[in-house]
């Protein structure tokens, strides 16, 4: 729960450092004194986006820091999962804004993203501002209330997995139907394409081989000339390189007996002779085999033209890609041929997943029905104590198509008067009636969720007198069992029942207007409630009434 709040240079607040305790606390102050500013600062701590305009005029930096006691709420797993140091008695959340527009957030001095700050904030504080009463007319909010009381988180998770599987399978089925229909329309054309590619007798690597052969055949004369000149240079009688090397080898061998080093030279020349003779033989053989066949060249060029045309037609860059395209068309033709079986198989899978989804949605529905009955009973009891003994409240669950939240449509129906017609609550309930309903729902939710801190911003709007006092008693009960409830109020009946009382006031200084927040002493509290009762002119009668309110 919130133990300490520190604010520096935030709008009208130059410096605020105030401590809080558990139980039910109240905050009072005149309209415009700065209560909403404090709520705005807390909202920044809970991950709301920042605006540099919120920095106090003349300051270069704004700091908002809160200390929380988490010792009774089992929140260590959150910190371990996010690699943040954990101190259950002093969790520090800090937000810093600079005039240049930069914003930084920290959890226990570890830098944190706004999304992480928001995730933690949602587990620490629930701020119920006046505009949140509008949520009562929203179906999503109504369903959330029912689900919280039903404690069906695990069942919702299981249902959503089943729903996702069913939705994905249904999408696959629709795609398959569209593809099958399109393939049936294109079946004749697909068969023509397959036959054309299949009849082409495509072979991977054929194109490269043909291109090499046609290039060589197109240069036959150049090849023959080069081979002829090489053959003549090597094997011409009397002057060819082969005979010349042989003659040189024999000559040097003739002096090997009288000049020992000549023997090595002979061996080297003899080796050259053998190699040249071998090369000469290969060149002669190649020269005999070189021939130009115009018909063969035409045949190869025609084949290449065919391959090039197919590649252009099917937008492929190689024969391998053409083969891949042929196999793709074959697969589509096979799909058309087997489409009935495949469609039936997928339809069976969709039906199976729909049954699973329906079964899990049914479990949710039953849990929500039980929770709805519990909510109705609790709410009517509370509304009776809040001056609405004839109120009628019903939660209607109607079936609807599967969606991410199940197969239930929720409606909160209400009638404040005896024998009246129940209608959707937000169409018929007054502001004061909605405030009482929302407080009763929040009381139930706080017991189920165990939120450490709940802040109400004038939830008592539209009520007064005994009803306000009853609302205060409900907030007192909510503040029990290690919870903290803080209510911003203008009603003395509620302010008097707070365990702790804080006042927000505005002061004009030479440097401008500033807001302060003070924790009131017993006497200051008497004076504040007396002022709330009588206005600025506090009378002795108002003081006595304040003492009665405080039961002093």
- The average pLDDT across 290-310 equals 80
Residue 178 pLDDT: 87
Residue 166 pLDDT: 96
Render pLDDT for 172-226 as a digit per residue (tens, 0 to 9). 999 988 888 887 788 888 889 999 999 999 998 888 888 888 877 766 667 777 7
Residue 33 pLDDT: 82
pLDDT above 60: residue 292:
no
Q: Which two tokens stand for residue 32?
A: 């415009």
Edge-to-edge order in the sheet of strand 406-415: 392-403, 406-415, 423-424
Distance CA(338)–CA(342), nearest Å, equals: 6
Residue 105 pLDDT: 93
The long-range contacts involving 253-262, CB below 8 angstroms and separated by at least 24 positions, are: none
Residue 291 pLDDT: 63
| DSSP structural state of residue 152 | -
Range with the poorest average pLDDT among 84-88, 167-171, 257-261, 526-530: 257-261
Cα 11 versus chain centre, distance: 33
Distance CA(399)–CA(359), nearest Å, equals: 14
Dihedral sign computed on CA atoms, order 383, 385, 391, 396: positive
pLDDT above 70: residue 60:
yes
Distance CA(533)–CA(530), nearest Å, equals: 5
Distance CA(548)–CA(115), nearest Å, equals: 47
Q: 319 burial class (0-12, 13-18, 19+ CB within 10 angstroms)?
A: buried
The beta strand positions in 32-124, using DSSP E, are 61-68, 91-98, 103-107, 110-111
Number of H helices, E strands in the chain: 18, 15
pTM (predicted TM-score): 0.67
128 versus 91: the higher-pLDDT residue is 91
Residue 250 pLDDT: 84
pLDDT above 70: residue 552:
no
Residue 411 pLDDT: 93
167 versus 122: the higher-pLDDT residue is 167
pLDDT above 90: residue 310:
yes
- The average pLDDT across 514-522 equals 90
Angle, helices 261-289 vs 220-235, to 10°: value is 150
Buried b (16+ CB within 10 A) or exposed e, 273-304: beebbebbeebeeeeeebeeeeeebeebeebb
Buried b (16+ CB within 10 A) or exposed e, 176-185: beeebeebee
Instruction: State the maximum Cα–Cα separation within the chain, in Å, rounded to a whole number.
Output: 150
- The average pLDDT across 278-291 equals 78
Residue 504 pLDDT: 92
Please provide the average confidence, as pLDDT, over all residues in the chain.
87
Alpha carbons within 13 A on the beta-carbon side of 378: 20
Q: Which domains does the chain have, with CATH numbers?
A: 1-128+450-520 (3.40.50.300), 188-332 (no CATH)
| pLDDT band at 465; cut points 50, 70, 90 | confident
Render pLDDT for 400-435 as a digit per residue (tens, 0 to 9). 999 999 999 999 999 988 888 899 998 888 888 888
CB 207 within 8 A of CB 307: yes
For the chain, the first-to-last Cα distance in angstroms comes to 29
């Amino acid at each position: 729960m919130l133990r300490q709040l520190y604010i520096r240079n935030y709008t009208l607040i130059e410096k605020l450092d105030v401590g809080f305790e558990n139980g039910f606390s109240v905050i009072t102050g005149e309209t415009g004194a700065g209560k909403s500013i404090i709520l705005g600062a807390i909202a920044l701590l809970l991950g709301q986006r920042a605006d540099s305009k919120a920095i106090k005029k003349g300051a270069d930096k704004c700091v908002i820091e809160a200390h929380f006691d988490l010792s009774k709420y089992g929140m260590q797993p959150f910190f371990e999962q996010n690699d943040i140091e954990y101190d259950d008695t002093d969790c520090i959340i800090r937000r810093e804004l600079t005039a240049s527009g930069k914003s930084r957030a920290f959890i226990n001095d570890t830098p944190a993203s706004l999304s992480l700050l928001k995730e933690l904030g949602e587990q620490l504080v629930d701020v119920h501002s006046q505009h949140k009463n509008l949520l009562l007319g929203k179906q999503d909010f109504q369903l959330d209330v029912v689900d919280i009381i039903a404690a069906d988180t695990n069942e919702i998770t299981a249902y959503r997995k089943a729903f996702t599987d069913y939705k994905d399978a249904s999408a696959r089925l629709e795609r398959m139907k569209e593809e099958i229909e399109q393939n049936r329309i294109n079946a004749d054309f697909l068969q023509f394409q397959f036959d054309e590619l299949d009849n082409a007798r495509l072979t991977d690597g054929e194109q490269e081989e043909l291109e090499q052969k046609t290039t060589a055949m197109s240069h036959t004369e150049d090849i023959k000339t080069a081979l002829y000149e090489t053959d003549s240079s090597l094997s011409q009688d009397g002057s060819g390189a082969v005979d010349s090397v042989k003659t040189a080898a024999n000559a040097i061998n003739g002096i090997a007996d009288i000049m020992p080093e000549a023997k090595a030279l002979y061996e080297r020349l003899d080796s050259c002779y053998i190699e040249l003779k071998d090369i000469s033989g290969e060149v002669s053989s190649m020269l005999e085999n070189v021939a130009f066949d115009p018909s063969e060249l035409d045949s190869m060029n025609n084949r290449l033209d065919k391959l090039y045309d197919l590649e252009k037609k099917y937008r492929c860059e190689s024969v391998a890609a053409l083969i891949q395209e042929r196999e793709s068309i074959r697969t589509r033709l096979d799909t058309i041929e087997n489409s009935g079986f495949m469609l039936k198989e997928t339809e069976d899978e969709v039906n199976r997943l729909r049954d699973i989804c329906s079964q899990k949605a049914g479990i949710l529905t039953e849990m929500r029905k039980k929770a709805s009955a519990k909510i109705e009973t609790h709410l009517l009891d509370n509304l009776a104590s809040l001056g609405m003994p004839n109120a009628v409240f019903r939660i209607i669950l109607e079936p609807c198509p599967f969606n991410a939240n199940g197969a239930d449509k929720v409606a909160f129906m209400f009638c404040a008067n005896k024998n009246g017609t129940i209608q959707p609550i937000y169409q018929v309930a007054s502001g004061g009636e909605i405030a009482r309903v929302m407080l009763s729902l929040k009381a139930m939710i706080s017991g189920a969720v165990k939120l450490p801190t709940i802040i109400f911003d004038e939830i008592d709007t539209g009520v007064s007198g005994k009803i306000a006092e009853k609302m205060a008693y409900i907030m007192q009960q909510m503040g029990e069992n290690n919870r903290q409830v803080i209510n911003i109020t203008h009603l003395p009946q509620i302010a008097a029942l707070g365990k702790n009382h804080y006042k927000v006031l505005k002061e004009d200084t030479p440097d401008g207007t500033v807001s302060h927040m003070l924790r009131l002493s017993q006497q200051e509290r008497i004076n504040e409630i007396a002022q709330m009762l009588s206005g600025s002119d506090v009378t002795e009668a108002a003081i006595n009434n304040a003492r009665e309110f405080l039961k002093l």
